[in-house]
Structure 1
Amino acid sequence: MPARRVVTGRSQQPRKRFAEELRLLRNGRGESLRELAERLGWDASTLGKMESGTNLGSPEVVEALDTHYGTPGLLLALWEVAMGDNSQFKEQYRRYMDLEAEALSLWHYGVSILPGVLQTAEYAREVLTLGGLKGPELEQQVEARTGRRKLLEGDDAPPFRALLSEAVLRTPLQDPQAWRDQLESLLEASERPGIALQVLPLRAGLYGLVSTDMMFLRLQDGTTVAYAENAHRGELIGETQAVERLQRRYDAMRDLAFSLVESRKFIMRMLEEVPCEPST
């Protein structure tokens, strides 16, 4: 097969291509970031991060850019493709992300932290910082992780069940307000018809998945794969018997968990225990 001919010389990676187009359009106008920010009413730092590829911005700012440059719908289309691009995730997670995006239903168990699809930006930032990320790479990974929350939004979102160890909800963030926001976000998620949140109390004792975060993905071909993850690595498990064993352990743990109503009440109690900000 002959090599693909390069036509424009521009990046073929959606995220980089989006950032590149923003820079080209602004430079073509001879505008500085500050001038562009003043004309659009958006923060210059936000526009700068979009042009560097560390942040994709919101659809509102992209629509404003489309209007400003006279490119109706072009930038928004590039933005939508970039938002679905898994290249911003580290290599070892990309295959899992592809499967997660096509899954018909998902079941999660969290032994130490919340699943990425339920994390707020501040929760994700603190977790990723502990992993050694900083600067633009940190912000890119925060955006990538919080962008996964869109998976559970909309009428066609797959059913999602999260089984959370009580320890997850008793391990707060350093910032009380950020922790309050995360708990409130969990309560909001628990009200959605397609999401089921259950808490596994510490008094349940030891159980089959005591040290491993797990996600089970039911795929369109009828098979189920499992993804096991700890602080250092993740592993996709596709072998039928191995997945079946893990699912039996998951089901046994679910039998020990609080009901949906009891779990929601538990989250509310955790929220009530968060220290209030001192009045000024």
Structure 2
Amino acid sequence: MPPRRVITGRSQEPRQMFAEELRLLRAERGVSLRELADKVGWDWSLFGKLENGHTLGSPEVVQALDHYYGTPGLLLALWELAMADPTQFKERYRRYMVLEAEAVSMWQYSPSIIPGLLQTPEYARELLMEGGLRGDELDAQVEARMGRGEALLRDDAPQFRAVLSEAVLRTPLQDPEEWRAQLEHLDLMGHRLNITLQVLPFSAGHHGLTNTDTMFLRGASGQTVAWVETGYSGELVQESAGVERLQLRYDRVRDSAQSPGESRQFIERMLEEAPCEPSI
């Protein structure tokens, strides 16, 4: 086995360091992109995008390249550094969107807001406006979020379980009518066979996901990944040990939550208590 390659300070930006190392390794091997694709698999254009820094790819591709170049773990380590870079949030989110669209099963814990898949347009708009979006960009983001939610209504819709902190249901929108519409939508979605809603009451106390919005996605292959998000950024967790740690915390949260039936009654009580008109 060749000695482990030493990374120099050629580039201080993780994404560019990863791309540069890929270019150098291929140049040393003396193969074209098409020859590399024949040896490793995947389309040659993907390797071109990796070397240009246009994408980071998946861990499966990077592990295959580590194996081909005889650099066990090196490229994967660089890939993980690039993925962890806060400036790469959009790249990670695009990858998450692909995995969400392909998921056959999803489960989520929401500590402070209605899950995106269950939001009404008005709820999504208020949240996104608070995040600073305006104009055409705001309209586009609201439309995109509604499109994601439509996946739960398909004939082949994935199974989806959401555990909501009680705080989610006690934090209304500014417009009482829009808040009632959101609660009604949540109640309606909770009656679908592919959707299970549970409420985690304040009385459950502290737990391992107190301030962590976490979504788990299981693909058709059986692999599970997790998306952990704050109001500022997000992280795609694909390494199995990390996913398992998050899953253990989620399981404990789910076990402390109310049953689906009790949770449905809780949401209906929130609807009864919600004001019908703006306060004067």
- TM bin, normalised by shorter chain, reads 0.5 to 0.7
Describe how 1:171-250 pairs up with structure 2 within 5 A. 171-250=171-250
SS at match of 2:277: coil
The residue type equivalent to 1:209 in the other structure is L
The residue type equivalent to 2:123 in the other structure is Y
- CA deviations over 1:115-169 (Å, ceiling 9, x no partner): 1110000000000001100011111101111111111012200100000000000
Q: CA deviation at 1:108?
A: 0.6
In 2: Cα distance, 1:133 partner to 1:216 partner: 27
Q: CA deviation at 1:251?
A: 0.6
Aligned to 2:265: 265
In 2: Cα distance, 1:181 partner to 1:261 partner: 21
SS at match of 2:227: strand
Aligned to 1:123: 123
Aligned to 1:94: 94
Report if the CA contact (8 A) 2:207-2:253 is conserved. Answer: yes
The residue type equivalent to 1:231 in the other structure is G
In 2: Cα distance, 1:168 partner to 1:244 partner: 26
SS at match of 2:132: coil
Describe how 1:9-20 pairs up with structure 2 within 5 A. none
Aligned to 1:107: 107
Residue ranges of structure 1 left out of the alignment (5+ in a row): 2-88
In 2: Cα distance, 1:105 partner to 1:276 partner: 36
Structure 1 pair 223–92 and aligned structure 2 pair: CA distance change class (3 A): closer
Describe how 1:3-152 pairs up with structure 2 within 5 A. 91-152=91-152
- CA deviations over 1:6-58 (Å, ceiling 9, x no partner): xxxxxxxxxxxxxxxxxxxxxxxxxxxxxxxxxxxxxxxxxxxxxxxxxxxxx
In 1: Cα distance, 2:92 partner to 2:239 partner: 19
- Paired positions, count: 192
Using the aligned pairs only, state the percent identity. Answer: 63
In 1: Cα distance, 2:275 partner to 2:150 partner: 30
Q: CA deviation at 1:181?
A: 0.2
SS at match of 2:93: helix
Residue ranges of structure 2 left out of the alignment (5+ in a row): 1-31, 33-88
Report runs of 4+ in structure 1 exceeding 4 Å deviation.
89-92
The residue type equivalent to 1:242 in the other structure is G
2:158 maps to 1:158: yes
Report if the CA contact (8 A) 2:103-2:217 is conserved. Answer: yes
The residue type equivalent to 2:242 in the other structure is A
SS at match of 1:277: coil
Structure 1 pair 194–110 and aligned structure 2 pair: CA distance change class (3 A): same
In 1: Cα distance, 2:257 partner to 2:176 partner: 27
In 1: Cα distance, 2:154 partner to 2:176 partner: 30
The residue type equivalent to 2:100 in the other structure is E
In 2: Cα distance, 1:239 partner to 1:103 partner: 17
**RMSD in angstroms over aligned alpha carbons?**
1.6
Aligned to 1:32: none
In 1: Cα distance, 2:237 partner to 2:154 partner: 28
Q: CA deviation at 1:276?
A: 1.6
In 1: Cα distance, 2:259 partner to 2:182 partner: 21
The residue type equivalent to 2:149 in the other structure is R
Aligned to 1:11: none
